[in-house]
Amino acid sequence: MKVDSGKKGLVINLLSLIGLVVLWHLLVILARENIFNIPFIRLRDVPTPVETWYALIGSLFTKTYGPALTVGILEHTQASLLRVIEGGIIAFIIGVPLGIGIGYSKPIGNVLNPIIEIVRNMPPMAWIPLAVFILVAGGSIFIVFIGTVFPIILNTIHGVKSTDLRLIDAAKTLGASGSQMITKVIIPSAFPSIIAGLRIGLGVGWMAIVAAEMVIRSPIGLGYFIWNMGELGRYPEMVAGMIVIGVIGYIMNISILLLQKRFVKWVD
């Protein structure tokens, strides 16, 4: 029964995706045949799913045309992923201790909370000009860091604050010192929350990296790729890049969920 309904769900999932592709195809074809067009959208410029598929296959690998290296989507993806991972690691290293400090100690919280409350409301995109004009290097990684660090901090604070007081009492009576309380009770208890923060943060970081790469130009990265292809009028490649961005974001999210399920066994 359960297996059956699971399969049914999967079939519906697939059908919905197929439906989207068919609708997409129809809209483009109808626009190209001058039968129907949505106002303000040049739908005829949108590549069909088939054109997009061929563009994706054709641009997966880096190709050489004489002196020109046309960097493939895989290499762009790798570069963007690497930036997100680097920015994410820095955000994790800085965000988790900060979150623990703020969540655990009132004075630290009083000092840092107002700063965090203001700064976290500046979206990562708002930092792009600063990264472009003031930072000399690592602008994209910095933008990922900004996007990732606040969800990590906030979720860590939440995790620390929602630590069961009875567990703290239990640890106290069992003789835990202040630092042992942090390492042996607070951190493990906040761990699922910290991982959730990492997951949300990396999601934001992934969106931020694509935006950053459009502005902070290094000749490699998915955001750069889709913008470049758009500028050259190569819309099938552009849309293929967009789809890759979506799929990678989805895979990242699912991977962390699965990792969490695997390593945080105590939460059912």
Partner 1 sequence: MKNSLKILLVVILAILAAGCIGGNKTPQSVSEPINLVKMSGQDMVQRLGTGEIAGFIMWEPYPAIAMTNGYGKPLLYSGQIWKGHPCCVVAYDYNWYKNTTNADEILKRMALVQLKSVEYINNAKETRSPDHEDLIKYTMEFGGMTDPKAANLSLSDVEFVYAPNIADAQTFITRIQDFGIFDSEKWNQSGYKNASDYANALINKSYSDWASQNKNANLTSVALKTPVTIRYAYLVNDIHELPFYVGWKKGWFKDAGINITLSDGTPFQNGAFEMQKGFKSGVVDIGSLGIPPVIIHRINSNDFTIDDTRVEVVAGMNNEGSVIVVGKNITSMKDLSGKTVGYPGPGTIQHVLFLMEADKEGLKVRY
Partner 2 sequence: MGRLILKDISKKFNDFLALENVNFEVEDGEFVCLLGPSGCGKTTILRLAAGLDSPTDGEIFLDGKKIAGTNKECGFVFQEYALFPWRTAKGNIEFGPQVKGCSKEECERISRHYIDLVGLRGFEDHFPHELSGGMKQRVGIARAYANKPKLLLMDEPFGALDAQTRNIMQAELLRIWEKEHISVLFVTHSVDEAVYLADRVVVMSARPGTVKEIFGINLPRPRIRTSPEANALRDAILRSLGSEIKRAASI
CB of 96 to partner 2, least distance (A): 16
Q: Is 29 in the site for partner 2 (CB under 8 A)?
A: no
Contact partner at residue 123 from partner 2, partner 1, none, CB < 5 to 8 Å by partner kind? none
Q: Is 178 in the site for partner 2 (CB under 8 A)?
A: no
Binder among 66, 67, 175, 178 for partner 2 (CB under 8 A): 175
Q: Is 258 in the site for partner 1 (CB under 8 A)?
A: yes
Q: Is 25 in the site for partner 1 (CB under 8 A)?
A: no
Contact partner at residue 81 from partner 2, partner 1, none, CB < 5 to 8 Å by partner kind? partner 1
Q: Is 143 in the site for partner 2 (CB under 8 A)?
A: no
CB of 180 to partner 2, least distance (A): 5
Q: Is 45 in the site for partner 2 (CB under 8 A)?
A: no
Q: Which is nearer to partner 1, 5 or 34 (CB)?
A: 34
Q: Give the Å distances, CA to CA, from 14 to 19, 67, 205, 236.
A: 8, 43, 28, 23
Stretch that binds partner 1, among 90-98, 178-186, 193-201, 231-239 (CB under 8 A): 231-239
CB of 160 to partner 1, least distance (A): 28
Residues 175, 121 contacting (CB under 8 angstroms): no
Which residues form the interface with partner 2 (CB under 8 A)?
Answer: 164, 166-167, 169-177, 180, 184-185, 188-189, 191, 264-268
Q: Which residues bind partner 1 (CB under 8 A)?
A: 32, 42, 44-47, 54, 58, 60-72, 74-75, 77-79, 81, 136, 217-220, 228, 230-237, 248, 251, 254-255, 258-259, 261-262
